[in-house]
Copies of this chain bind each other. A is one copy, B any other.
Amino acid sequence: MHRLYHQPLSPFCRKIRLVLAEKRIEVQLIEEKVWEKNLDFLRLNPAGKVPMLRMNGLILAESSAIFEYLEETVPEPPLLPRGAEARVEARRLMNWFDDKFHHEVTANLLYERVNKKLEGTGYPDSRKIQAGSKNIKYHIDYMGWLLEKRDWLAGNMMTIADFTAAAHFSSLDYVNDIDWLRNKNVKEWYARIKSRPAFRSLLSDQLSGFVPPDHYTDLDF
């Protein structure tokens, strides 16, 4: 069977888990503690990061490269729209969340609260938590604005943009960092995506030492 090396709350891993599940590709999940710099892992993937996917005799690294590979080799159901114009918008938003949102929000909130504790590298920095809490408001507003005009973030079909955003949101929701009252479009969008079968595996993750809020697994939160 294919193997996905991952960390349960990594949004980059969650994005790939959603893609795999949506395309009905079964994988064995292997938790890799990347901060322990396991030599066997580094030999396979010198970037030392997860997700890493072993599939078809290949070792695949970098989540956006893995996504494009899966989209090319298992095209159904598609997670990129047809037409170059619609595709560039889906990829723009994938990058928006994996770069801008990750840097401004995920790193400040999730990595301060969770990764530092897992890696034993100290306590959360309150200035970063404050910055992340402030920044996420702007992102939720932007998403709400996009969803005024569109059914899904990049247009009228669900795409990798939605999975990428939902991957970040689900990890942040695990540590109760999402204000679901801020924007009804965003809440309604997340409820739709959370109820997909592909989402189930994410909602069943339990991270030792971290208890998610009650609404985390609730489909009618």
Q: Which residues of A contact B (CB under 8 A)?
A: 46-47, 49, 56, 58, 60-62, 64-66, 68-69, 72-73, 84-85, 87-88, 91-92, 94-96, 99-100, 142
Q: Please tell me which one of the listed residues B46, B49, B69, B88 contacts residue A88 in the complex, with CB atoms under 8 A apart.
A: B69
Number of copies: 2
Q: Please tell me which one of the listed residues B47, B61, B85, B91 contacts residue A64 in the complex, with CB atoms under 8 A apart.
A: B91
Q: Which residue of B lies closest to A100 (CB)?
A: B47
Given that A47-B100, A84-B73 are contacting pairs, would A92 and B142 also be in contact in the complex, using a CB cutoff of 8 Å?
no
Inter-chain contact A46/B92, CB cutoff 8 Å: no
Contacts of A85 in B (CB 8 A): 56, 58
Inter-chain contact A96/B47, CB cutoff 8 Å: yes
- A91–B95 CA distance with the chains assembled, in angstroms: 14
Inter-chain contact A88/B58, CB cutoff 8 Å: yes
Given that A69-B84, A72-B84, A84-B73 are contacting pairs, would A62 and B91 also be in contact in the complex, using a CB cutoff of 8 Å?
yes
Inter-chain contact A92/B61, CB cutoff 8 Å: yes
